[in-house]
Amino acid sequence: MHRIHFHYTLAGDASPARIRNPLIELLQAVADSGSISAAAKTLKLSYRHVWGELKRWEETLGHSLIVWDKGQPARLTEFGTKLMWAERQAQARLLPQIEALRADLERAYAVAFDDDAHVLTLYASHDEGLAALQEHARQPAHRLHLDIRYGGSVDAIRALNEGRCLLAGFHTLHGTASGSLTQRNYKPLLQPGKHKLIGFARRSQGLMVARGNPLGLKRLDDLQRGHVRFANRALGTGTRVLLDELMDQAGIPTTAIHGYDRTEPSHAAVAQAIASGQADAGLGIKATALSRGLDFVPLVEEHYHLACLKSALDLPAIQALLALLHTPRWQRQLGTLPGYQPSQSGEVLAMSKVLPWWSYRKPKAAGTPAD
């Protein structure tokens, strides 16, 4: 069976929605005019081009398209006629879907032609608050389109540093001290003076468990029971960093948790593993647990940060985001998500004030006396 490929173009007119097929247009012109030369004139192409294209298509499809009788009007073969019929049938049946697809593409491209709209690329650790922000930002009052690529916190900051995005979303445990695993993961990627943090949210992380918490899990220590099946997150994700931080603080070895090496790509995937009975517990956020019909055992509060380069703060897209985050309406909406509260939402923050393991002093100018 032959494959179908689509392409589309931008036009300034309001022509009806249709999917163009250059072969069908050639065949239609030949059928209407009765000759290759007349078809070429109709299509405003050269005779040589039309003749060559028809021959090329015959070779590609393995069937004759035109009855090439010398001295006779050109006419379609039975196969060529069936191709024309198939095109008419498909266009008639699919017209509503074609029109809907065209409308979706036009809406997307309308942003590019709207001088007051902005697109902001954001790599981030998965977060229900960000998903709500993405939907909220689309409203006509804001005209801000967040192009969010979800991944791990560490990978998000790397993407920011490599110029693949303007913002990176990551989360850290509140109050982590110097020498912590959190510091060792994030400090090499962030530089005071180069990066700034934008306040976003405070959220609750804990154990997602089956409804009713049948195993009675209440603390991280309870995961050491041999029969508890745990679903973990992959290396490089903020939740994996958080788990390892908490285990280090509690003195729990990784070998003590059954399923520590089993990883899932997102909070939602961990929740689904528990809901389907493949696991008993996993670390995640309250909003995801409740949305999947699970119970939630809160363990810690953490901050979700948005990092950007200091040099990008004055860009229109960043300014539009800051203005949106400051609005009381958005902050009220964020507060309705289970386990979420706004936290310095939309404020530009110095890392040394937010991340307690940063102790940064600007280098002294030459000749300045020592302390």
Looking at residue 64, which CATH number applies to its domain? 1.10.10.10
Residues 86 and 188 in one domain: no
pTM reported for the whole predicted model: 0.73
Containing domain of residue 302, as a range?
Answer: 118-354
Q: How far apart are CA 105 and CA 145, in angstroms?
A: 15
Say yes or no: 294 and 264 in one domain. yes
Residue 351: the pLDDT is: 84
User: Which helix (H) or strand (E) element contains residue 24?
Assistant: helix 22-33
Same domain, 182 and 51: no
Furthest-apart CA pair in the chain: how many Å? 102
Domain identity same for 135 and 63 = no
Two tokens at 117? Answer: 């709209």
Tally the domains of the chain: 2
Q: Is residue 312 part of a domain?
A: yes
Residue ending a domain, choose from 94, 112, 130: 112
Residue 361 lies in a domain: no
Is the same domain home to 184 and 313? yes
pLDDT of residue 39: 92
**Same domain as 168, residue 127:** yes
Q: Is residue 83 domain-resident?
A: yes
End position of a domain, from candidates 59, 89, 112: 112
Output DSSP code: residue 138: T
Per-residue pLDDT of the chain (371 residues; tens, 9 = 90+): 677 777 777 777 656 666 788 999 999 999 999 899 999 999 999 999 999 999 999 999 999 999 977 777 888 999 999 999 998 888 878 877 887 888 788 777 878 888 889 999 999 988 999 999 999 998 888 889 999 999 899 999 999 999 999 999 999 987 777 788 889 999 999 998 899 999 999 999 999 999 999 999 999 999 999 899 999 999 999 999 999 999 999 999 999 999 999 999 888 999 999 999 999 999 999 999 999 999 999 999 999 999 999 999 999 999 999 999 999 999 999 999 999 999 999 999 988 778 877 665 555 555 544 43
Question: For position 107, what pLDDT does the model report?
Answer: 76
CA distance 341 to 319: 22
Tell me the CA distances in angstroms from 68 to 8, 28, 43, one per residue in order. 33, 16, 20
Nearest to 160 by CA among 183, 127, 181, 190: 190
Residues 42 and 163 in one domain: no
Same domain assignment for residues 173 and 300: yes
Coil, helix or strand for 70?
coil
Provide the CATH number for the domain around residue 209. Answer: 3.40.190.290
Nearest to 121 by CA among 85, 93, 143, 149: 149
Question: Does residue 365 lie in a domain region?
Answer: no
- The last residue of one of the domains, among 112, 133, 159, is 112
